[in-house]
A and B are shown apart, each in its own frame.
Chain A
Amino acid sequence: MKNLSDIEIIESVKRGNQSDYSLLINRYKDKAFSLLKRMLKDPMDAEEVLQDAFLKAYNSLQSFRQDAKFSTWFYKIVYNSALTTLASKKRQIEKEMSSIEDHFDLGEYDNEIYSTTENAEQYVLKMVDKLPTRHALVLILFYIDGMSINEVSQVLDLSLVNVKVLLHRSRKELRDLLLKHNYQEAMV
């Protein structure tokens, strides 16, 4: 049962086997929760929005067109639900979801994070937490969810070029910080 594809599970749910929807929930809950925690900065809000997103997806399964991937469609629901929550709370939305042209500088966190981490991995992962929200979301969707640039652009409603800019800029920032501390020398 666990090896069923997303489409097969959806077909089963549409035929009336509602409990099969739990397979989809188990498949996506952790990755989507990671995304929401990053966006909303609060685990309680993240859980609430994720529940809401799964319910919305369930209620809209009939309208799901199978020419798209379920994951892309579902993450779009998750992302839009999070944006709605952010907008309703008016919490840092302008600051967090700012234009991709906005400048950011991870250097201001460098001393604090470098002094509290023991290796390159810990250092980089903590630095990712300091990235502007949209940069971090692109990294999560690309690296954790394994989405293509095209899929990321569909979920975040950005152009392919903008997604590439966000991804490359984040990599460059992290690379420059690794260079600063000569972490690359440990690489074989």
Chain B
Amino acid sequence: MKQLTDEILNKYIDNELTTHELDEFKKLIASDGEALRLLKAHKLADHILHKMEVAAAPTNFTDKVMDKIFSTVPQRLRKSYFVPVVIGFLFTAIIGVTAYALSAIPADQKDSSNSMSIITDAKNIVAEKVGTFSSFFNNDTILIVGSFLTFILLLSAYFMINSHKNFKHDLDKFSH
């Protein structure tokens, strides 16, 4: 090693010199005053940079971020539960109707090994019950009363959901 280059100085500072390079480096420093001067300044710069101060984040910074996180989480949870609840409801309804149809088949027919005939019977029973149900609503008086009650029910549901939303909003503000 004849001359101390920036590359060698940086390798020395970063502990990247091989044993052989380190020996040569030490020899050069011991014999060359200018090289020693460069090394001292380089080490000083590195030493001071290690003492660079960290600027403190504003007070209450953590609380501010956590408040934002807590205020957004309930909405996300509501969204994530909506679809599974609807799917669960539909699934339960389908299972319920199927179970009812199967239970309505006379016992002697259930013993039959022909599964296709069981399915056909079940379909017939469901169609029969739906027919009874729809003929019930063909009555004008029942239709008017039913519509009125449905309207009242929807209106009540709207006000109830709104009131629940406001209550949740007030609760969130209070707790955070």
**A interface vs B, CB < 8 Å?**
18-19, 21-22, 25-26, 29-34, 37, 43, 47, 50-51, 54-55, 58, 120-121, 124-125, 128, 139-140, 143-144, 164, 167-168, 171-172, 174-176, 178-179, 183-185, 187
Contacts and interface: CB of A to CB of B under 8 A. Distances in A.
A22 B68 CA distance: 12
A55 B68 CA distance: 8
A49 B66 CA distance: 15
B57 A33 contact: yes
B6 interface: yes
Given A50-B57, A121-B51, A19 B42 contact: no
A132 B51 CA distance: 20
Contacts, number: 107
A121 B55 contact: no
Nearest to A43: B58
A139 B52 contact: yes
A178 B44 contact: yes
Q: How large is the interface on B (under 10, 10 to 19, 20 to 34, 35 or more residues)?
A: 20 to 34
A175 B42 contact: yes
Of B6, B41, B56, B65, which is in contact with the most chain A CB atoms at under 10 Å from its CB? Answer: B41
Contact of B41 (A32, A37, A58, A183): A183
Of B42, B45, B58, which is in contact with the most chain A CB atoms at under 10 Å from its CB? Answer: B45
B43 interface: yes
Given A18-B69, A175-B42, A51 B10 contact: no
B52 A179 contact: no
A128 B52 contact: yes
B40 interface: yes
B119 interface: no
A187 B44 CA distance: 7
Of A21, A31, A167, A174, which is in contact with the most chain B CB atoms at under 10 Å from its CB? Answer: A174
B37 A54 contact: no
Of A32, A37, A47, A171, which is in contact with the most chain B CB atoms at under 10 Å from its CB? Answer: A171
Nearest to A25: B62
A142 to B, nearest CB: 8
A47 B57 contact: yes
24 contacts: A18-B73, A21-B69, A22-B66, A33-B57, A47-B58, A51-B68, A55-B68, A58-B69, A120-B48, A121-B48, A124-B48, A128-B52, A143-B52, A168-B10, A171-B10, A171-B49, A174-B48, A175-B38, A175-B42, A184-B40, A184-B41, A185-B40, A187-B40, A187-B43
